[in-house]
Amino acid sequence: MKKSRWLSQLLALPIVACIIAAGGLVVGASGAQAASVGTPSIAYSGVLNPPTADKPQSKLWWNDGSWWANMWKTGSGWSIYRLDRGTDTWVDTGVRSDSRASTSSDTLWDGTHLYIASNVVTAGASAAGQPARLYRYSYSNGTYTRSTGFPTTISNNSSESLTIAKDSTGAVWASWTQVSGTTSTVYVNNSAPGGTSWGAPFVVPGAADPRPTPDDLSAIVAFDGDEIGIMWTDQATGTAWWATHDDGESARAASSWQVKEAIKGNKKVDDHLNIKALQADPSGRVYAAVKTSLNDGSNDPNLAQLVLVVFKPATGSFSQTTIARTGDCVSRPQIMLDTANNLIRAFHTAPSTSVSGCPFSGVAGSIYEKTASMDNPIFGAGRGTPVIEDGASANMNDVTSTKQSVNAATGIVVMASNNVTKRYWFSDRSLGSGNPDPAAPTASFTATPTSGTVPLTVSFTDTSVGLPTSWAWNFGDGSTSTTRNPSHTYSASGTYTARLTATNAAGSSSTTRTITVNPSGGTSPGISVRSSTTANATTATSTVALAAPEGRTAGDVLVASFTTDLNPTVAVPAGWTAIVNGLGINSTTTSGARVFAYYRVVGSADPATYTWTVSKAVKWGGGITAYDGVSNTTPLDSAVATAVNATYTATSITVPSVTTSRNGARLIGGVGFDTATPGATAPTGWTERWEAANGQIAEQADRAQATAGASGTATWTFSAAKAAGAWRTALRPAA
């Protein structure tokens, strides 16, 4: 049992002047009694769990001009209630679903049907013979009617939580974790259209680690018009995983799932997770609130306690921002997306305003709200504004609301429960008539590649924020496009400025990127790229073996780099010279990673595979690029510069400038991650030559520098927060 659960019962006693020390935070003497905020509602009894729990689930929905909720009615079970805004009361419609007192529910209104998924709750080992059920209701003239043939059975096992989503084919999906022994398994299941029948539950296909700790949870969401996403926490590895599936593809085929790390790092996740997709968003963004465990054993009040993770399908990248810090003592997050004001609204539990401090996160008290822009989410300091607070009993917890986005027509309603007084509370507020001053979009895009030889085909991907409705491209060679994500071929050498102008009703903005097209037969004066190879080992091995690039010939210069986990040393093979021979990323005998890079002049009888011997068995990823036209006597034309960020919070890394001595030098560099998930983007103007796909991630890129001198810094960006090490130098052209 977590501290938050037993301590909330302790703090259910009348507040007294007491000091409880734990983890460096303090519960101070109580102040004056807090004022009540929000509205008390029906009392409940006979249900085994707080009826507004659990964290990933939604108990409310908006339909036909009213807010509705699945609430526990004493003596009857789960029932559909309607909010009468004129009297601030929840009215029982008389429509019942599950009568089992041991269950919790997740609701979904799709515009035609109401779906209620009901799972038997267990915090420990999952029990067989405890079915999770799906109820479906049609709606007409203020009345919900259960559909014939329902409920259907999703799963035959209990679970701590279960959430549902509906894809573009009409299939209903569910995800949950089942606990057995010291681990749990992330399960998923999907139905026939409309939820009418279900297959056998299955483990998330293709997942690198679908078996987290017993205390971890999963959540499912439909997004981007035709995709399903599942996020789950794994406290053992500090990872939040993200698995996506295209609608209509085989649900059980591993090839139809893409799995990557959304968060990675020591204590970067807990079992608190809530996820939402922005409806009618052309960029398909997904927002998730995730609690960390950074408060455990730390006295630092400034560590991230709740983080917001944003996934952007166009780039496959994640961004992170802090919602609240460890000193704020918050837990049990819910997020809602407000399209009237373009805001993320984050709700969470924290101690009552009448209490100074707290021993650790998870203390029941009051429900607070914080907001940030959906396009550039930056939350202010502190717990936020109290929206539900029982002035007579500081035991509010387990906030819940809807999967739907909210707007001026819906207003915003959130609900919580005081499990000491056994009463529901809710907050109902207007969102105004919309954003009075809508913002123009902020244009941004990626181009792949940004340099190469004639003819050069470049793929342009819009990454603008602020919901643009039209896109105008000028590729710099006289060609244009209005497609959102165009492709363009440059047929003549030169340097071109590609421009995107993104527009909506509020205005427009523009941004540019430089595209360098070199003559056929070479990618820079004097130095050209032959080819590259890459490889990885997902199981530990004591050798790193990289195949020779195709077309390499005597006199070429090879640049090889690889990243290993843990803390090995490497004996430099004959014929190779170290660029960096073990750049540590928080590396110890049991964690972290190391980055290695070498160069070699190809001889007349080089082997087909090059091998490095590692001092211990490790996982690794790496590659080699062959360059022609490099000086065989002095291959490097500059000093070597490096950078390391071992915080596991970095979304980019910048390597200092190097200074070249010869015209026509080629800048080279690479990055390594302490992770097995790809996600590096080369610096602006650089060309990525390869990126290892697994093991431990390594990436290598280069850029021509026509004129000798300082190169300026080089910044690699990441698809998600990582710990990273990077290096760079330059190749000298042959005389």
Give the model's pLDDT for residue 308.
94
Q: Considering only CA atoms, which of 573, 438, 565 is closest in space to residue 507?
A: 438
- Give the burial string for 499-521 (b: 16+ CB within 10 Å, else e): bbbbbbeeeebeeebebbbbeee
At residue 16, the pLDDT reads 29
DSSP 514: E
At residue 326, the 3 state secondary structure works out as: helix
72 CB neighbour count, 10 Å cutoff: 26
Q: Which residue has the tokens 């079970």?
A: 77
Cα 210 from chain centre: 16
Decide: 508 and 470 in contact? Cβ < 8 Å: no
Would you give the DSSP letter of residue 85? T
User: In this structure, are residues 245 and 256 in contact, taking their beta carbons and an 8 Å threshold?
Assistant: yes
Count Cβ atoms below 10 Å from residue 98 Cβ, excluding itself.
22
pLDDT in the model for residue 282: 62
Q: What are phi and psi of 328, to 5 degrees?
A: -80, -20
Instruction: Confirm if 702 and 667 have CB atoms less than 8 A apart.
Output: yes
Please state, as a whole number, how many other Cβ atoms lie within 10 Å of the Cβ of residue 548: 18
Which stretch of DSSP H or E encloses residue 370? strand 366-373
Indicate the residue type of 8. S
Question: Cα(333)–Cα(324) distance, rounded to whole angstroms?
Answer: 10
For 5, the enclosing helix (H) or strand (E) is helix 3-10
What does residue 92 show for φ and ψ, rounded to 5 degrees? -70, 125
| C-alpha distance from residue 692 to each of 449, 607, 703 (Å) | 18, 22, 19
For the beta sheet containing 456-462, the strands, ordered from the edge strand earlier in sequence to the opposite edge, are 445-448, 456-462, 487-490
- Bridge partners (DSSP) listed for residue 583: 595
Q: Determine the Cα–Cα distance for residues 603 and 557; give it in Å rounded to an integer.
A: 10
Residue 436: what pLDDT? Answer: 40
Of 643, 635, 624, 627, the residue nearest 727 (C-alpha): 643
C-beta of residue 307 within 8 angstroms of C-beta of residue 370: no
What SS3 state is found at 142? coil
Per-residue model confidence (pLDDT) at position 118? 97
Task: Give which of 116, 119, 115, 117 is closest to 103, Cα–Cα.
Answer: 119
Residue 185: CB atoms within 10 Å: 18
Could you give phi then psi for residue 521, rounded to 5 degrees? 100, -10
pLDDT along the chain (735 residues), means of 10: 33 30 35 78 95 94 96 96 95 96 96 95 89 96 95 95 94 93 88 95 77 87 91 89 91 89 89 79 84 85 91 86 90 92 93 76 87 89 91 94 93 96 96 56 82 83 76 91 89 86 82 80 63 90 92 91 92 93 86 93 90 93 92 94 92 94 92 85 90 89 89 92 94 87
**Which residue type occupies 681?**
T
Tokens at residue 488, please?
Answer: 């363009």
The answer to whether the CB of 598 falls within 8 A of the CB of 531 is no
For 629-706, strand residue ranges (E) read: 641-655, 659-660, 665-673, 680-681, 687-691, 698-705
Nearest C-alpha neighbor of 351 from the set 25, 726, 68, 708: 25
Q: Which residues of 662-679 are buried (b: 16+ CB within 10 A; e: fewer)?
A: bebbbbbbbbbbbbbbbb
* Cα radius of gyration (the chain): 28
Closest CA to 134 of 119, 112, 113: 119
C-alpha–C-alpha distance, residues 63 and 484, integer Å:
33
Task: Count other C-beta atoms under 10 Å from residue 634's C-beta.
Answer: 13
Here the tokens at position 447 are: 């181009």
H or E segment to which residue 9 belongs: helix 3-10
HEC sequence for 575-635: CEEEEEEEEEECCCCCCCEEEEEEEEECCCCCCCEEEEEEEEEEEEEEEEEEEECECCCCC
Return the number of other C-beta atoms located less than 10 Å from residue 121's C-beta. 19
Look-up: residue for tokens 């996403």? 229
pTM across the whole model: 0.60
Q: What are phi and psi of 5, to 5 degrees?
A: -80, -45
Distance CA 729, CA 658 (A): 7
CA distance 148 to 136: 9
Rounded CA gap, 174 and 718, in Å? 30
DSSP state for residue 23 in the 8-state scheme = T
Distance CA 53, CA 351 (A): 18
Residues 6+ apart with CB under 8 A from 427: 37, 38, 39, 367, 387, 388, 412, 413, 414, 415
* Angstrom distance (rounded) from CA 455 to CA 186: 47
